[in-house]
Amino acid sequence: MSAAADLGTVSATRVLDVRDLTVAIEAHGRRLQPVSGVSLHISAGETLGLVGESGSGKSMTGAAIMGMLPPGGTITGGSVTLGGRDLRSLSETDYRQVRGNDIAMVFQDSLTSLNPTRTIGYQIAEPVRIHRGASRKEAWERAAEVLSLVGIPRPAERLGDYPHQLSGGMRQRVMIAMALACEPKVIIADEPTTALDVTMQAQVLTLLDGLKERLGMAMILITHDMGVIAGRADRVNVMYAGRIAEAADTEDLFAAMRHPYTHDLLASIPLLDQDRSARLYSISGLPPDLSERSAGCPYASRCRRVSDACTALAPELIEHMPGHAFACWHPMPPQSSPVLVARRQANDSRHEETVEDATPPRLAVSGLVKEYDVRRGWFGASARLSAVAGVSFEIAPGQTYGLVGESGCGKSTLGRTIIGLERPTAGEIRLDGLDLEPLKGGEGRRRRRPIQMMFQDPYASLDPRLRVAAIIREPLRLAGDADRSAQDARVRDLLDAVGLPTSVLERLPHELSGGQRQRVGLARALAVHPSVLVADEPVSALDVSVRSQVLNLMKDLQADLGLTSLVISHDLAVVKYLADRIGVMYLGKLVEEGAGEDIYQAAAHPYTAGLIAAIPEPVPDVERAKPAAAVTGELPSAIDPPSGCRFRTRCPLADDICAVREPELIDLGAGHKVACHFPLRVG
Amino acid sequence: GGGGGNGKTPTVSGDKGFGSIPEAADTVQAGGTVDIALSPGLAPNYIYPNVPAVFNGTTVAPSQLWRPLYWRSTGATAAVNDELSIAEPPEYSSDRKTITIELKDSYTWSDGEPVVADDLVFSIELIRAALKEDASNWSYYTPGQFPDDLASVEATDEHTVTLTLTTAYNPGYFDAFVLGNLIPLPAHSWSKASDDGPIIDFRDPANAKATFDYLHKASQDQKSFATNPLWSVVNGPFKLKGFDSSTGGFTLVPNEEYSGPQAAQVDEVNYLPFTSPAAVFNQVRAGNLTVALLDSSYIDQLPTLESTGYNYYGMPKEGQVNSLFLNFENTTNNFDKMIAQPYLRQALQHLIDQPGYIKSKGIYNGAAAESYSPVSAASANAPGFGDKAPYPYSIETAKKLLEDHGWKVVDHGETTCVRPGAGDDQCGEGIPEGQKLSFNLFYANSPTSIAARNTAFIAAAKKVGITIESAAKATNFMYSNYDNNFAPENKDKWAVQDSGPINLGGYPTASLIWSTEGAYNAGHYSSEEADSLMNESISGEDPKALSNEATFLGKDLPVLYMPNPSNIVVWKKTLSGDPDAFANITQGFLTPEFWYYAG
Amino acid sequence: MSAGADSGQVVGAAEVLAGRRRVELLRRLRTGSPFGGTIGLVGVVLALAIVAVCFLGPLIYSTNQVDVDPLKAFLPPSGEHPLGTDSQGFDVLGRLMEGGRASLQIGVFAALVATVIGTLYGATAGLAGGIVDAVMMRFVDVMMSVPFLFVVLIVSTKFNSSAWSLSLILGLFSWLIPARLVRAEVLSLKTRDYVLAARSMGASGPSLVFRHLIPNSLGVVVVNITFQVADAILAVATLGFLGFGLSYPHTDWGGQLSAGVNYLLSGYWWLIYPVGLCLVAVVLAFNLIGEALRDTLDRRRTL
Amino acid sequence: MARYLARRLATSLVVVIGISIVVFLLLNAMSGAPGRSVLGPSASPEAVDAFNHKEGFDRPVVVQYLSYVQGLVQGDLGRSYKLNQDVGELLAQNAGRSAMLSLAALLLALAVAVPLGIYQARRRNRRSDSAITAATFMLYASPQFFLAVVAIEIFSVQLQLLPAQASQSRSAFVIFTDPRAMLLPILTLAAANIAIFARYQRSAALDQLGQDYIKVARAKGVSERKIVRSHLLRNSSLPLITLVGVSVPALLAGNLVIESVFNYPGLGLLFINSLAREDYPVLLAYTLIGGVLTVLGNLIGDLLVAIVDPRIELS
Ligand SMILES: Nc1ncnc2c1ncn2[C@@H]1O[C@H](COP(=O)(O)OP(=O)(O)OP(=O)(O)O)[C@@H](O)[C@H]1O
Ligand SMILES: Nc1ncnc2c1ncn2[C@@H]1O[C@H](COP(=O)(O)OP(=O)(O)OP(=O)(O)O)[C@@H](O)[C@H]1O
Ligand SMILES: [Mg+2]
Ligand SMILES: [Mg+2]
């Protein structure tokens, strides 16, 4: 790339200036160009959001700035200037002086990003000792100082801890402390919260934000989550296939986006206040292979506004308006994000669903308890882990029930118990009124057949040695009620139903893309005409564009087949999009239940409210208006759950009674139930 | 003093020697240390000289601390050495039942007491007491013979002992098997039942038993071998200075009170323990040993060793049978029926190429002698056929013998019996038609020449269609598993075995191994004629008896004869002495008192 | 993504870590293959070459490996005997082929015996779980702690070595590693989503085992076989070297080498180096093949 | 720590008991009542029976086992009838030398393999890595006795630099003062382990190098040398500690071969010689000790890991 777009004039406050950065990687005899002519800059106190699909080159850009490309990677063009210093010309030794000192980085996975055999004190002190030439003691003191900065109580005592002794959120704070130790000018946060639960994500992001402000740092926030961007970034660079597709101030971007890719990206995410009846937009095709250099616009093959010009020549990133640049031959007319549109529509249609009539429920779960014996070794004391603690709910025929909750709250356990992979410790599961639990052996398996499951990880849930045809046929074979040719016919029907070509039949799972695999998984689940489908995190392993395809498909099939389904996800938006009714779980308990809109717009449980508040929405106004961290702290251990109301340890409204008495699930009317001594809403 | 026989050539029988022994050097440099290798794996662990069977071969410095009555080696021959014996030659009465032994009056114990007739009687009483406890308590015991047949033993004067026997023996036999193994012991010092106990009368069997038990027990406390005052009372040229109980290595120093013919000339003799023949060889190669017996697999290294300063000399041991034992009772595949046929044994013997094996670089490389009977062709008791093989190597003859007796010989295939029956031209009694000539053979896993010669034999057998399955085994294993006497339950498991040499001693009658009742008759060979010939060797009068026995056994083939390998001794060129004092090492006798460093 | 996977933390972390580490260890002992894709090829070519020489060689270069000629012992290499002759006068090149056949046969057979036993044992333990598994694995622990070579040597004193008995003895004492591998594999497969999926569709025990568990653990088993062959060949060679090999008319490489070593100082190098190098080559070949197979397997897994 | 220790000790004890049963059964199967082999061929059957009775070999197997265990607990490993010695004493005499050889070889192997493996991992897939890997593969594929023979041929026969056999001395002092004699045995014994350890270290280091904390350290500006020293080394050595514990049987087997080739009078050679003598009490006592050492090796390995690795709860 030659002339790069100059986004504004070089000002004295620009800390970091990247121009025309091009990175090449040589690996396994292939040459990739994961970053092509990227230009960006950032000033002190500013947050630049770098957003894009997986593989779009976000991390690689960060790595190039840090001078830490993977083996085989080189910067082949462009410049990186930090405070007027050309970093590219630095020797490795000099570059080392920059890292951790002038630019610091926060990584995604805090478990693997901390050395398990070193104390956190050592790890935080390390950069101080290197860059500040501090003594062991001084560095240690500094470590305590930054640790308190990131909000860890009694920091001096924690310095001697090892990473595994900390919770995920704490570890992420330690990571941040490590990055801050030398008060860098620029901090690059690469997906700093992707591994965290939403509640924790909100806390960490707020912390980062505050620190940046206080210390006057510049921050590059790398994420794939448009919601995070909307709430935290001052400016946004949208990346696609190693290039910047669009760059603008956050408000500008959401209010008047121009690049079709930006638009499509947003259009394919389900939103909390999504119109449930509207289909999500899906971006067709796959991102381009970065090893092939094509002349045209990299998005051309997937773009709905494509023309011959697009395939002939790649558009350059041009600042069409002050502070707003995009690289497109056929920009969309300035328009606000599809989210805002959808939002507006949804607000209009505050619908009321008919309260379930007298039809008996298809699936009824009552008083379900699942506890695990966890023993500490051979002679260790036995402990009981309460994964599900007395959950009851019903799903009417044809309805979809959604389960949400933080990680570890027992959603999957509930799902596994319902389909019979686990035996409940207590409670009943009735399918069409018949209690499934006493049934064992062949009879039990047969009676459970109407309940089928769709798994989370499309890579793990298909036997890698079986061909697609055999995989889909398996439930038919197990049911054994059709001959081979009938089975084959059914397999073909199913393929058709999930929108796969028959050519995949002879393929092995690894020859399929993630989306295709998930479709195969769905086809398999549907093979025996189940009446109930349990889908555990059906889309959380999928990339945005694929995710919308699968969501659409599930939605269509629900409607077409009249399926009764249970959708489990930690993503309230996904659940709300798919489900008629939603149950919110907390630490093995159902704390609130009701229609999606009721839950979203009139949450009665403080936990639900906090959860909703923590979910980042791709709407800058909404995001900025949100309170800082609504639910604080972390999920307590399920081995010794808090007495009374399990949420009380994190509840802002908690009172003495909460510790003593367990609140019951009470109906607020219209099927909206809540288990709280101090509900936010009554009736 | 000087070497006993300056200018002498070693005493040998025949010309089977290998290498040479230089004449004794004229100038003697007194003192010095001699390092000598103990037989690998045979670390001494017992000291009392009347050895129980378990410890045979593992006693400390046999004959060098306590002299035997008769020294049965002169150079490389088994002739009695009158000079080194502590008694005059025995006198037999005409009925051969009374033997008078006169001890030389020149010998004294190291504590100054003379060696007297009672010391011999004491020793014999101890043997009797020991055998009463357990038949294995004296290595040289043959049930029914000495001392069972000892009517009386008496010290008739201070230096004379008279033995009265109930049966008569061939003097050659009795000399070798009994008198040669008797060792006078210091009764004045040892005849007690505990360390500080009083001297008791050993003629009382109860006392003899107590004494034996005491000595036997003391003899197992290896840590005290060199310190226990008991063992310091000796009459040989050396005393035990140090004993390493962990390895069995020990050091001898001259017995200053020695009263015999040749006092020790070097200051110290170190017996170094070795765990393998290779270790011995390596040490020799590194020049770290003064004297060593080498494994025959190092024969072709001898010229190299010579150039680095060693003399070497090899000689087969006399009175040694080196043969493939046959199991006449193995009924598997009718082996007993087949092996009972003399023609078949002859055919097998015809397959053994003794001259070839001796010559082969892969087997003996020259260091062995042909052997066709228990007695060597060069000995005074040589068999009638001398050194001419009764059944010389000839595949053709073997084949013809088989064919003449009703076998269909298929070269490299399966020879089968086609004419069953007991007739002259038939296979033989009990051998059915279609019988295959196949059997197994176990051989000792060391030395390498054993495997090599058996392989050659098996391969030759293949040429006439005889199939022999073979496997190498530890010698011990073969003794305890493939010996019909001790493991009768396994008698059908082996047909032929080669456990290496069996030593018959200086008077090599084979009665122990081939008489019908022989204690070591592993394969249960039985022949009336052999029995009567052996009986003659033992109890007859005829000095030719042994030769007659050997002639018959050479022809009747109780075993298949193999060459007799040389024992090879190497010693530093700086070490000199009477040539016999080196030649006798090949026969297992050590006389270090004759060695000295050349000035 | 899910906290469930981490629940091991609770369950006696130390035990789990230690146990897992040990299994991991066995599995990984031979990882790392910087030759790229060629290593498998090198291994296969090497193995095929050795197999061809040993099994087909005699067709082209036929020698008398039956008749001993003691007088032709230790002839140095010449036109007539490219690798000279040994102590029996056998042509060494021909002897190499003879010994190679035995070594390969024993190696392969021992590996198969070990694999069959190990697979059945490991799969049973893994599937049964609970107390059965605990007892079975404790037994494996015990057997693994008894030094294998010692026991084989001790047992060998009682047997007459034949190709069969050797491979049987080796096989009977080397099934432990495959047993552990297969058990670990079955345990991990048991909780895989696709196995859960099959269970949730109503698949019964045998159906799970035969359709999912066995085919999917086969990879590990096959990889292990190749390593096991290499190990068995080495073990046989060691046995042969220590005097428990085959006897005439049979021979094996370890025995040949051991016989040759007796003449180390005599300069008969042709008795040592050809057979030594053959041994190295064949063990190397099987290791390389195993390495490549495992690489492929791992790559497929991480896809 | 105490609890973890107690737990590991308990499991180890179970395994050790198992080993003693296996070894005892083996002893029983191999030598049965040893009277005949002890007393030799000329002993009468009565004498043999008397011996077996006296020594208790005619009692029921279970009783024999219990008394065997009782002996073991009191440190009595049995008696070598062939050598007329206490097996315990016999082993004790040789143990020091074997331990010296093994430990020297082990330390050498570790000293070479750990840096080598890390070096390889850091130069992954470069030519030097491939070359070293090729070499380690070759080493791994070479039977130890062949390596030893080649070493003797080169260093003793051809170059005449080093003796062909190990020190025969019984005193540690002499062995230390003449290190030349131990060089070849130690080197060859170490060689095979270098191959295994280096391959393992390489793979462990690769695993760790792929971990994010290395990246984090780089991002903090830590130099590569320091990354290796203060981050990589400790983490990537954890598996090696376990490996060393697990490879005790292999080390013992190596001793067997090396001691017999170099004629070094340690436990291995004692074993080989006892094999030829069919001295089963010695053979099995050593096997038992080998088993116990293995368990001990595992135990120590696990404990070391537990000490070094803070993730293992020691409370
Ligand atoms: N070490 C590497 N060697 C070769 N190619 C790599 C390497 N790391 C990343 N890539 C490639 O570089 C491209 C850009 O990767 P990058 O990690 O920057 O994407 P990303 O935008 O951060 O995606 P994600 O959201 O998944 O983290 C991808 O196609 C990836 O396959
Ligand atoms: N097999 C098991 N043994 C012991 N504990 C278990 C087991 N499976 C799950 N748990 C525990 O049960 C609790 C609930 O786990 P579950 O997987 O159901 O949570 P989840 O809500 O699905 O979380 P996520 O969103 O991370 O998938 C967790 O504390 C988990 O550690
Ligand atoms: Mg990334
Ligand atoms: Mg889950």
Per-residue pLDDT reduced to its tens digit, A121-168 = 999 999 999 998 889 999 999 999 999 988 888 888 889 998 888 888
Identify whether the C-beta of residue D258 lies closer than 8 Å to the C-beta of residue D264: yes
C8 touches chain D (CB under 8 A): no
**Nearest-CB residue to D275 (from C32, C157, C258):** C157
Judge if the beta carbon of residue A171 lies within 6 A of ligand 2. Answer: no
Q: From ligand 3's centre to the CA of A70, what distance in Å?
A: 13
Any idea which of A549-558, B247-256, D282-291 has the lowest mean pLDDT?
A549-558
Mean pLDDT of the region B84-94: 93
**What pLDDT band is residue A7 in, cutting at 50, 70 and 90?**
very low
Q: Using CB atoms within 10 A of its CB, is residue A401 exposed (0-12), middle (13-18) or buried (19+)? A: buried
Residues of D in contact with B487 (CB under 8 A): 36
A455 touches chain C (CB under 8 A): yes
Atom of ligand 2 nearest to the CA of A406: 25
Judge if the beta carbon of residue A374 lies within 6 A of ligand 2. Answer: yes
Any idea which of A173-187, A443-457, B21-35 has the lowest mean pLDDT?
A443-457
Could you say which of A163, A182, A201 is where a domain stops? A182
- For A334, the 3-state DSSP assignment is coil
pLDDT over 60 (residue B117) = yes
B552 touches chain C (CB under 8 A): no
A98 touches chain D (CB under 8 A): yes
**What does the domain layout of chain C look like in residue ranges?**
3-62+94-301
**Cα–Cα distance measured from residue A663 to residue B573, given in angstroms and rounded to the nearest whole number:** 106
Q: From ligand 2's centre to the CA of B391, what distance in Å?
A: 89
Mean pLDDT of the region B99-108: 94
**What pLDDT band is residue A339 in, cutting at 50, 70 and 90?**
low
pLDDT over 70 (residue A353) = no
pLDDT over 80 (residue A269) = yes
Query: Does one domain contain both A87 and A152?
Result: no
Q: Which of A21, A35, A56, A69 to mutate to test the pocket of ligand 1 (most atoms within 8 A of CB)?
A: A56
| Residue with the two structure tokens 């990584």 | A107
**Chains C, D in contact: 3+ Cβ pairs under 8 A?**
yes
The upper half-sphere exposure of residue B275, i.e. CA atoms within 13 Å in the direction of its Cβ, equals 27
Query: Does one domain contain both A411 and A426?
Result: yes
Any idea which of A81-90, A360-369, A496-505, A538-547 has the lowest mean pLDDT?
A538-547
How crowded is residue D171: how many other Cβ atoms within 10 Å of its Cβ?
11
Per-residue pLDDT reduced to its tens digit, B432-467 = 999 999 999 998 877 788 888 999 999 999 999 999
Q: Is residue A226 part of a domain?
A: yes
Cis peptide preceding D265, ω within 30 of 0: no
Q: Which CATH superfamily is domain C3-62+94-301 in?
A: MetI-like (1.10.3720.10)
- What is the pLDDT, as a whole number, of residue B397? 95
Query: Does one domain contain both A197 and A90?
Result: yes
Question: Which of C86, C109, C108, C111 lies closest to C96 in space, CA to CA?
Answer: C86
Q: Which of A28-32, B69-73, B487-491, C214-218: highest mean pLDDT?
A: B69-73
Could you say which of A152, A182, A212 is where a domain stops? A182
Query: Does one domain contain both A155 and A33?
Result: no
Chain D interface, mutation test: which of C11, C144, C146, C229, most D Cβ atoms within 10 Å? C146
**Cα–Cα distance measured from residue B488 to residue A516, given in angstroms and rounded to the nearest whole number:** 76
End-to-end CA distance of chain B: 13
- What is the pLDDT, as a whole number, of residue C29? 38
Residues of A in contact with C195 (CB under 8 A): 463
Query: Does one domain contain both A178 and A192?
Result: no
- What is the pLDDT, as a whole number, of residue A141? 92
Query: Does one domain contain both A212 and A130?
Result: no
- What is the pLDDT, as a whole number, of residue B8? 60
B132 touches chain D (CB under 8 A): no
Q: CB–CB of B471 and C248 under 8 A?
A: no
Q: From ligand 4's centre to the CA of A279, what distance in Å?
A: 26
Q: What percent of chain B has pLDDT over 70?
A: 96
Mean pLDDT of the region A79-100: 90
Could you say which of A144, A161, A182 is where a domain stops? A182
Which helix (H) or strand (E) segment holds residue D92: the answer is helix D87-122
Q: Using CB atoms within 10 A of its CB, is residue A243 exposed (0-12), middle (13-18) or buried (19+)? A: buried
Q: Which domains does chain D have, with CATH numbers?
A: 96-266 (1.10.3720.10)
- What is the pLDDT, as a whole number, of residue B75? 84
Q: Is residue A501 part of a domain?
A: no
Q: Nearest residue on chain D to A178, judged by CA atoms?
A: D220
Q: Is residue A683 part of a domain?
A: no
CATH assignment at residue A27: 3.40.50.300
Cis peptide preceding B447, ω within 30 of 0: yes
pLDDT over 70 (residue C299) = no
**Cα–Cα distance measured from residue A379 to residue A540, given in angstroms and rounded to the nearest whole number:** 39
pLDDT over 90 (residue A669) = no
Residues of B in contact with C248 (CB under 8 A): 451, 454-455, 458-459, 470
> Rg of the Cα trace of chain A?
26
**What pLDDT band is residue B74 in, cutting at 50, 70 and 90?**
confident
Tabulate helix, strand, coil % of chain D (nearest 5): 80, 0, 20
Which protein residue's CA is at the shortest distance from atom 13 of ligand 2? A387
pLDDT over 90 (residue B569) = yes
Judge if the beta carbon of residue A57 lies within 6 A of ligand 1. Answer: yes
Residues of C in contact with D125 (CB under 8 A): 34, 36
pLDDT over 50 (residue B528) = yes
**What pLDDT band is residue B594 in, cutting at 50, 70 and 90?**
very high
Q: Is residue A464 part of a domain?
A: no
Residues of C in contact with D18 (CB under 8 A): 138-139, 141-142, 145
- What is the pLDDT, as a whole number, of residue D212? 87
Looking at the predicted complex, does its ipTM rise above 0.85? no
Per-residue pLDDT reduced to its tens digit, A282-328 = 887 777 877 767 778 888 888 888 888 888 888 888 888 888 999 99
**Cα–Cα distance measured from residue D298 to residue A296, given in angstroms and rounded to the nearest whole number:** 62
**What pLDDT band is residue C219 in, cutting at 50, 70 and 90?**
confident
Per-residue pLDDT reduced to its tens digit, A48-63 = 999 988 888 999 999 9
Identify whether the C-beta of residue B537 lies closer than 8 Å to the C-beta of residue B518: no
Per-residue pLDDT reduced to its tens digit, D13-71 = 999 999 999 989 888 887 777 776 666 655 666 767 877 887 788 888 889 899 888 98
How crowded is residue B481: how many other Cβ atoms within 10 Å of its Cβ?
22
Domain that holds residue A149: 112-182
Q: CB–CB of C247 and B297 under 8 A?
A: no
The first and second tokens of residue B326, run together, are 């046959």
Q: What percent of chain D has pLDDT over 70?
A: 92
Q: Is residue A457 part of a domain?
A: no
Query: Does one domain contain both A190 and A288?
Result: yes
The first and second tokens of residue C154, run together, are 């001790």
Kindly list the protein residues that place their beta carbon closer than 5 angstroms to ligand 3, a single-atom ion. A 59
Phi-psi region of B351 (alpha: psi -120 to 50; beta: other; left: phi over 0): alpha
Q: Which DSSP category does B77 fall into?
A: B
Query: Does one domain contain both A134 and A75?
Result: no
Which amino acid is residue A544, in one-letter code?
Answer: V
- For C296, the 3-state DSSP assignment is helix
Q: Is residue A497 part of a domain?
A: no
pLDDT averaged over chain B?
A: 88
**Model pTM greater than 0.95?**
no
Q: Is residue A166 part of a domain?
A: yes
- What is the pLDDT, as a whole number, of residue A4? 41
Chain B interface, mutation test: which of D30, D81, D84, D89, most B Cβ atoms within 10 Å? D84
Atom of ligand 1 nearest to the CA of A32: 5
The upper half-sphere exposure of residue C178, i.e. CA atoms within 13 Å in the direction of its Cβ, equals 31
Q: CB–CB of C89 and B363 under 8 A?
A: no
Any idea which of A180-189, C90-99, C133-142, D269-278 has the lowest mean pLDDT?
D269-278
Q: Bigger pLDDT: B556 or D239?
A: B556
D304 Cβ contact partners less than 8 Å away, ≥ 6 residues apart: D241, D245
**Nearest-CB residue to B471 (from C70, C88, C161):** C161
Q: Is residue A207 part of a domain?
A: yes
Q: CB–CB of C150 and D141 under 8 A?
A: no
Mean pLDDT of the region D96-104: 89
Judge if the beta carbon of residue A55 lies within 6 A of ligand 1. Answer: yes
Which amino acid is residue B355, in one-letter code?
Answer: P
Which amino acid is residue C168, in one-letter code?
Answer: L
- What is the pLDDT, as a whole number, of residue A61? 94
Query: Does one domain contain both A175 and A192?
Result: no
Q: Nearest residue on chain D to A28, judged by CA atoms?
A: D125
pLDDT over 50 (residue A351) = no
Ligand nearest to the Cα of A74, by number: 1
Mean pLDDT of the region A353-374: 79
Q: Bigger pLDDT: C201 or D131?
A: D131
Mean pLDDT of the region A504-510: 85
**What pLDDT band is residue A170 in, cutting at 50, 70 and 90?**
confident
Judge if the beta carbon of residue C5 lies within 6 A of ligand 2. Answer: no
Q: How big is chain D, counted in residues?
A: 315
Query: Does one domain contain both A257 and A157?
Result: no
* Other chains touching D, judged by 3 or more CB pairs under 8 Å: A, B, C
- What is the pLDDT, as a whole number, of residue D171? 67
Cis peptide preceding C249, ω within 30 of 0: yes
Q: From ligand 4's centre to the CA of A584, what distance in Å?
A: 14
Mean pLDDT of the region B537-564: 92
Mean pLDDT of the region C252-277: 86
Residues of A in contact with D6 (CB under 8 A): 379
